Amino acid sequence: MQDPFPKNSANLTHLDGQGQAQMVDVSDKVPTVRQAVAAAQVRMLPATLAAIQAGNTPKGDVLATARLAGIMAAKQTSNLIPLCHPLPLQKVAVEITPDSQLPGYQIQATVKTKAETGVEMEALTAVSVAALTLYDMAKALEKSMQIESIRLVSKTGGKSGDYFPPAP
């Protein structure tokens, strides 16, 4: 069976000829419209969910703060992830939806650009930071909340084409 992750640095775009980490050169690529959607969830006790929904939290508006943090994080991805390119983002949307079956919140981020490389990392960073902020804003109510299932939901555009993973 062939190794799906070859050790030859010629096949790994983030490594140079000596095996050192490098930022991929995308200067020859044509800018195209690209979009990525990522998701996460925060699981909590029903009482915590109810308190957040009622706006009864010690730190203020949990959801607005988490949404804004996710948007800001997407814009800072290249400062956080060492080999990410700084990108001109045309759209960052973060949706935080209550889920009584979880119980907790479903978080989804959509990021869009017209650039030489994709925005998967920006979408994943947005949902991660939104989830962390939600936790921070509500930890006085419950420290046992769990951040779960951070994942890429879809990506469109670019050389590798569209990606829609199978449903979990």
Comparing CA positions, the residue from 89, 82, 76 lying closest to residue 24 is: 82
Is 84 annotated to bind a ligand? Reply is: yes
User: Is 72 annotated to bind ligand?
Assistant: no
- Asked if residue 85 belongs to a known ligand binding site, the reply is yes
Q: How far is residue 162's CA from residue 25's CA, in Å, rounded to a whole number?
A: 21
**Residue 94 is encoded by which pair of tokens?**
């973060």
- Residues forming the active site: 136
Range 98-134 burial, b when 16+ CB lie within 10 A, else e = eeeebbbbbbbbbbbbebbbbbbbbbbbbbbbbbbbb
Residues annotated within a binding site for substrate: 83-85, 121-122
Residues annotated within a binding site: 83-85, 121-122
